[in-house]
Amino acid sequence: MNILSADTSSEVASIALKTENSYEERLVSGCFSPSEDLLAVIEELLGNAGIGMKDLDLLAVTKGPGSFTGLRIAMASMKGISSALSIPLVSIPTLDAIYDTAADYPGPVLSAIDARKRKFYFSVKENGKTLIKDRDGNPEDVLEAIGEDLSAPLLITGPDALLFAEKLSLLGSNIPFIVDRGAPRNLSRSLIKLAIERYRTCGADDIGEGPVYIRRSDAEEALERKIRERADD
């Protein structure tokens, strides 16, 4: 089974191609531009594997939460390939894929992405059980939701694990936590694994499936402010 995966939901992009005979992945940060570089990396991976787009059997992409622009570009690119070549597409929640990279940890795992505006997209799971659902919030929310009585130190992982840990430490809480030394990890293997599982149990995404933002965009918030201002006039 030839599977192409892409995650551009944060400043660290994970892209990979798994074929019957090979596996190659990219973890790119910093100067990576999803709109300019994503298709170039995909073409490079396909060329290295000696296959074409038409030879793909499944597409996997993260659907959020995360960067509005990154999510839209990756989803649109993969949907374009899916539609043009009739290749099934499966989207996976970003924080689920992040958690899966550290799911072997015997305790609670917090997956974190910097959401800007002094907030984070995060979730907490332990042994596959959800303790805190995907949310747009602050480290204070963790203390309110799970307290300080944990079975093991909280493992903080994800592309912005260190920043979240710094904010958490400033609260002066007694909650025990450690930072995943391997973060940010490449999500590709987990994304591909989860996509295969979902495809086999639920099939491909519906045509109307799209990104999950959790937070409204700046444009939506600006529009709402204008509507309120006109209503008050």
* Per-residue pLDDT, 220: 43
CATH of the domain at 196: 3.30.420.40
Query: Mean pLDDT score of the chain, rounded to an integer?
Result: 91
- 166/194 same-domain check: no
At 82, which helix (H) or strand (E)?
A: helix 68-85
- 173/127 same-domain check: yes
Q: What is the pLDDT of residues 177-215, one digit of tens each?
A: 999 999 999 999 999 999 999 999 999 999 889 999 986
Higher pLDDT, 218 or 8: 8
- 17/68 same-domain check: yes
- 117/160 same-domain check: yes
On whether residue 225 sits in a domain, the answer given is: no
- 131/194 same-domain check: no
- 107/170 same-domain check: yes
Q: What is the pLDDT of residues 6-17, one digit of tens each?
A: 999 998 999 999
- Rounded to two decimals, what is the model's pTM? 0.90
Q: What is the pLDDT of residues 98-145, one digit of tens each?
A: 999 999 999 999 999 999 989 999 999 999 999 999 999 999 999 889
* Per-residue pLDDT, 64: 96
- 86/10 same-domain check: yes
On whether residue 232 sits in a domain, the answer given is: no
On whether residue 226 sits in a domain, the answer given is: no
Backbone angles phi and psi of 134, in degrees to 5:
-50, 130
Q: How many domains does the chain have?
A: 2
On whether residue 151 sits in a domain, the answer given is: yes
The label of the residue with tokens 């090979």 reads 22
Q: What is the pLDDT of residues 111-120, one digit of tens each?
A: 999 999 899 9
- 146/205 same-domain check: no
Q: Strand (E) positions, the chain? A: 3-7, 12-18, 23-29, 58-62, 89-92, 108-116, 119-126, 129-137, 154-157, 177-179
**Domain ranges, residue 77:** 3-93+186-220
* CB proximity list for 117: less than 8 A, separation 6 or greater: none
**pLDDT value at 70 more than 70:** yes
CATH of the domain at 143: 3.30.420
On whether residue 124 sits in a domain, the answer given is: yes
On whether residue 227 sits in a domain, the answer given is: no
User: Which DSSP letter does residue 101 get?
Assistant: T
